[in-house]
Structure 1
Amino acid sequence: MVPPNRAPRIGANTAGSTGPTRRSLLAGVAALGALGTAGCSRVATATSTNGGDLLDRLRAAGVVRLGIAGEIPFGYIDTNGELTGEAPELARVVFKRLGVDRVQPVPTEFGSLIPGLNSQQFDVVAAGMYVNPERCEQVIFSDPDYQMLDAFIVRKGNPKGLHNYQDVVRKKAAFATGTGYAEIQYAIDAGYQESDILIVPDQVAGLNAVEAGRVDVFAGTALTTREVVKKSSTTEVTEPFKPIVAGKPHVDGGAFAFRPTETRLRDAFNVELHRMKKSGELLRILKPFGFTEAEMTDLTAKELCGG
């Protein structure tokens, strides 16, 4: 979902919310992950020749370990203790077709996903991670399974008329966003002082801050903001918009990440992903998690990597 030191996924909650907190989600994932990883903290080392041999090893083992960050709706443990979310559910289908029957969660903080992948603590990052040039220097990505615009949580009626980051700067609005969210950099690029940004744990904490009047606006992904305000009677979500990056409107895309040596697995994953896009199956899988036709995309990892 969200870039390191910047944002989402898109991709949890704080005290006073009605759902599980991000911390409790991570604890739940940790408990489940520990069951599957006890006695074997790392996967076997891959070969770097001929596109890697991880796919063969996963088929032989019958299980793929997914790095997740306990974030709704991207990858999390539900109230029944089951692994779910857009990325794990998509992974189940794709890997089944690749000959790997089971998926197993390996929990970590979002900022530890890429280091954990490259240190072979798990096989694939399945966390709705945004593709950007910085990350593309460290891992390889599948093509995105979704695209995402930004949106704001504001008080009912949007009294300050905030529709983009330029509005926030121009109207000197009190601004909040989440830890590590891409929206931090988008606001800075628009001219907002980084020291003035209120950083909160997640979108529910952002909602609470707007409801309490601590800030005028919370910025997040269009999906997470529209989902979190459903139970709020005092706030609303603005129309989704494209942030300005390097002087141009920008659309983010979330994808699965693989170690740079594992091009064969990444390519096989892409083949199945594109089949599912063409048939409409991808939207059917992602729809229960709040994704709509507007989030479907033909963006490629190459485009988002700046290639």
Structure 2
Amino acid sequence: MARPHANRSGTDNKSHRGFSRRSLLTGAVSLGAAGSLGMVGCSRVPGEGKVLGGSLLDTLRNQGSVKIGIASEPPFGYVGDDGQATGEAPAIARVIFKRLGIDEVTPVPVDFGALIPGLKARQFDVVSAGMYINPLRCEQVMFADPDYLMLDAFIVKKGNPHGIKTYADVKKKGLKLASGKAYAQIDYAKAAGISDVLVLPDQVAGLDAVAQGRVDAFAGTRITVKSAVAGSGRVSATEPFQPVMDGKPAYGAGGFAFRLSEKNFRDAFNKELLKLKANDYQELLKIVGPFGFSKADMTDLTAKELCG
């Protein structure tokens, strides 16, 4: 989730905020046969880590469709009841790709940990999942500028009986914490000295674990947590807070990821994204507002700054 860079504790929203939303993807991921998208019109595939201009955008324009990788995580990106991609990132993608001359957007749902491997294997053309931008991921993929900046929160039992506000509280009180697979919150917890974090598939599993008393809290982004607990009488969401790593704020800013070989594609996308951010983010907020994002989540931070 990339953008605003405001220290939510009161500093200006445009000040720099840090790096991560979910931990860097690790481990090999088995994928099906790579799709043909991205291969057509390419005379060669660049070596690992090599950045070239790329001709994928022209190919996608000619065929009129683009495949986006999503991780089935509301409200960032998921498949709706109608079978279409929805959420903050797919909604932005649909607008921008249309302006780039690509009318059809096809979702490819995968596990979050399979997004970068799937992109590199050409299973889809772009990651559209609100992925946190950080230096380690920037070594593997090329990011557009972030479209949001996010604080953390916890799912806790109704009324927050343990008074949990931060990771330090979890550590100090010896409580049991869970988070989602490949979430950056796992790293935040470990930085606070919490060595044993139960890793669950997603926030829905986290809600159940808290409600059943298997853990005392589930860590996620403030918008993921808020979405999960909506309408639940069993659990609550804590107030959003700024996570810290190594004594410094760890800012979660998310954006779209592209293969390193497709700089032209990324640049064209980024140009349209910056247009959406113009005039105090008015157009962008119209797109992402229905998914719970507000002006406080906007940012003018760049991918270059986040990649370090």
TM-score tier after normalising by the smaller chain length: 0.7 to 0.9
Q: Please give the alpha-carbon distance, in whole angstroms, between the structure 2 residues aligned to 1:71 and 1:228.
A: 10
Q: Which residue of 2 aligns with 1:281?
A: 283
Q: Which residue of 2 aligns with 1:222?
A: 222
Q: Deviations over 1:211-251 (max 9, x none)?
A: 12222111111001011111122322111111112320121
Equivalent position to 2:35, from 37, 41, 46: 41
The one-letter code sitting in structure 2 at the alignment partner of 1:294 is: A
Within-5 A mapping of 1:1-40: 2-5=22-25
Q: 1:160 to 1:128 in 2, by over 3 A?
A: same
The one-letter code sitting in structure 1 at the alignment partner of 2:226 is: R
Asked if the contact 2:84/2:107 (under 8 Å) is kept, the reply is no
The one-letter code sitting in structure 1 at the alignment partner of 2:253 is: G
Equivalent position to 2:136, from 128, 134, 141: 134
Q: Please give the alpha-carbon distance, in whole angstroms, between the structure 1 residues aligned to 2:52 and 2:188.
A: 39
Asked if the contact 1:147/1:251 (under 8 Å) is kept, the reply is yes
Asked if the contact 1:72/1:85 (under 8 Å) is kept, the reply is yes
The one-letter code sitting in structure 1 at the alignment partner of 2:297 is: E
Asked if the contact 1:55/1:265 (under 8 Å) is kept, the reply is yes
The one-letter code sitting in structure 1 at the alignment partner of 2:222 is: A
Q: Which residue of 1 aligns with 2:307?
A: 305
Q: 1:5 to 1:100 in 2, by over 3 A?
A: closer
Q: Please give the alpha-carbon distance, in whole angstroms, between the structure 1 residues aligned to 2:284 and 2:261.
A: 27
The one-letter code sitting in structure 2 at the alignment partner of 1:208 is: D
The one-letter code sitting in structure 2 at the alignment partner of 1:155 is: K
Asked if the contact 1:5/1:181 (under 8 Å) is kept, the reply is no
Aligned length: 273
The one-letter code sitting in structure 1 at the alignment partner of 2:106 is: Q
Within-5 A mapping of 1:254-273: 254-273=254-273
1:290 Cα deviation after fit: 1.4
Q: 1:50 to 1:213 in 2, by over 3 A?
A: closer
2:181 is equivalent to residue 179 of structure 1: yes
Within-5 A mapping of 1:195-214: 196-214=196-214
Asked if the contact 1:68/1:125 (under 8 Å) is kept, the reply is yes
Q: Which residue of 1 aligns with 2:85?
A: 83
Equivalent position to 2:169, from 167, 170, 177: 167
Q: Please give the alpha-carbon distance, in whole angstroms, between the structure 1 residues aligned to 2:121 and 2:216.
A: 41
For residue 231 of structure 1, give the secondary structure of its aligned residue in structure 2. coil
TM-score in terms of structure 1 length: 0.83
Q: Please give the alpha-carbon distance, in whole angstroms, between the structure 1 residues aligned to 2:114 and 2:123.
A: 10
TM-score in terms of structure 2 length: 0.83
1:108 Cα deviation after fit: 2.1
For residue 108 of structure 2, give the secondary structure of its aligned residue in structure 1. strand
1:50 Cα deviation after fit: 6.3
1:3 Cα deviation after fit: 2.9
Q: 1:176 to 1:80 in 2, by over 3 A?
A: same
Q: Which residue of 2 aligns with 1:146?
A: 148
Q: Which residue of 2 aligns with 1:29?
A: none
Q: Please give the alpha-carbon distance, in whole angstroms, between the structure 1 residues aligned to 2:110 and 2:211.
A: 30
Asked if the contact 2:171/2:193 (under 8 Å) is kept, the reply is yes
Q: Please give the alpha-carbon distance, in whole angstroms, between the structure 1 residues aligned to 2:156 and 2:149.
A: 23
1:5 Cα deviation after fit: 4.8
Asked if the contact 2:25/2:116 (under 8 Å) is kept, the reply is no
Bigger helix share: 1
Asked if the contact 1:177/1:218 (under 8 Å) is kept, the reply is yes
1:54 Cα deviation after fit: 1.3
Q: Which residue of 2 aligns with 1:252?
A: 252
Q: Please give the alpha-carbon distance, in whole angstroms, between the structure 1 residues aligned to 2:112 and 2:216.
A: 27
Q: Please give the alpha-carbon distance, in whole angstroms, between the structure 1 residues aligned to 2:34 and 2:172.
A: 53
Q: Deviations over 1:3-25 (max 9, x none)?
A: 3359xxxxxxxxxxxxxxxxxxx
Within-5 A mapping of 1:86-101: 86-101=88-103
Asked if the contact 2:67/2:105 (under 8 Å) is kept, the reply is yes
RMSD between aligned residues? 2.0
Q: 1:5 to 1:105 in 2, by over 3 A?
A: closer
Percent identity between the two aligned chains: 56
Query: Gaps spanning 5+ residues in structure 1: where?
Result: 7-33
Q: Please give the alpha-carbon distance, in whole angstroms, between the structure 1 residues aligned to 2:170 and 2:52.
A: 50
The one-letter code sitting in structure 2 at the alignment partner of 1:4 is: L
1:72 Cα deviation after fit: 1.4
Within-5 A mapping of 1:44-63: 44-45=38-39, 46=42, 51-63=53-65
1:133 Cα deviation after fit: 1.1
